[in-house]
Structure 1
């Protein structure tokens, strides 16, 4: 079974899948294609939240001026964080090319090290803000999520145990979460 299939067994996806994404436009703006597991995740789930803790960012074009939330601001934040946090739990020859794909309620930022020429080989880097350190995981985004939910990594990669070893998780798209909130329903209960 693929990593996405294993993840879907632990975290059911929305019935309609994710929204259509203009990949060519996005990839031209970032200067590289996105990893195939991320593209498959977006087709299956789309952007949204896992257990009201981890936000999977909406794929968006690079905009160095954009502020707020999203892929560009998350990336700018991660790149600043790289310089601010001296502790790296791995050796570094040169600074990585960071692209953020997730943020969590602990203010951690989840990225790819997009330095390599093959996107499917980009490792996940996590800026664990509360611990003031960066950690590197030699896997893609979907495998990282699966291993986090299974508790299979060396230690909890995030600032809270909300997802660590959980085995089952709830994913809500932004649209579904907003719809439920508009109806006065707490989407996470």
Structure 2
């Protein structure tokens, strides 16, 4: 509870808390969850910290930020491949890593689920978006967020700019969906998005995921751009 108090004092949460059915969530995942994460997800809901850190949530508005969606499994499968083929040095057994958050730059945050039956003792690991680096934090996810957003620790894999302003949380907007007819669209050329974004002042990496801010700006662009 102390970790949650520190985070809410540093970064005010939305006015209304959620009421998540945790027994169902844990049954779907097939594993228990840390108490601090339950409090975090209930108190903040789905959204993003400092326009950068997206904590996966049972009610995530897209599959990319949904804790019970396909992303944790996909990420673990890639780690397992890297681990077995030696593509990148994975410092932990991939079977003990469960993705619980991601960043706009492409880093992933993991619970190190050891011991499996005692989730309140799980630590946090972060992998480099486009390289072999890893960072480990000996504490809960909530304590990690507080330490990073409060400038108490600096994760070498993160840009320094994420803590230049005061800590803030932006709730995610619900994604409305209507059944067909589905529009026919051409595949998006990410090279065009990167080129346009750089020309308009966005910091976009040459590889990996295009930052959400730049992608949304590209989608809102005027035809003459």
TM-score normalized by the length of structure 2: 0.64
The aligned runs of 1:49-68 (5 Å cut-off) are: 49-59=48-58, 68=64
* Runs of 5+ unmatched residues, structure 1: 61-65, 179-189
Q: Kindly state the Cα deviation for residue 124 of structure 1 after the two structures are TM-superposed.
A: 0.8
1:30–1:176 Cα change, 3 Å:
closer
8 A Cα contact 2:46 2:55, kept in partner? yes
The aligned runs of 1:110-129 (5 Å cut-off) are: 110-116=109-115, 117-129=117-129
Q: Which residue of 1 aligns with 2:72?
A: 75
CA distance in 1, matches of 2:140, 2:46: 17
1:157–1:102 Cα change, 3 Å:
farther
Indicate the structure (1 or 2) with the bigger Cα radius of gyration.
2
CA distance in 2, matches of 1:149, 1:32: 28
TM-score normalized by the length of structure 1: 0.75
Report which structure shows greater RCO (CA 8 Å, sep ≥6).
Answer: 1
Output one character per residue of 1:37-65: Cα deviation in whole Å (capped at 9) or x when no partner.
001111211111112211122226xxxxx
Secondary structure class of the residue paired with 1:175: coil
* Runs of 5+ unmatched residues, structure 2: 177-225
The aligned runs of 1:19-58 (5 Å cut-off) are: 19-58=18-57
Q: In angstroms, what is the RMSD of aligned CA positions?
A: 2.7
Q: Which residue of 2 aligns with 1:100?
A: 99
CA distance in 1, matches of 2:97, 2:16: 30
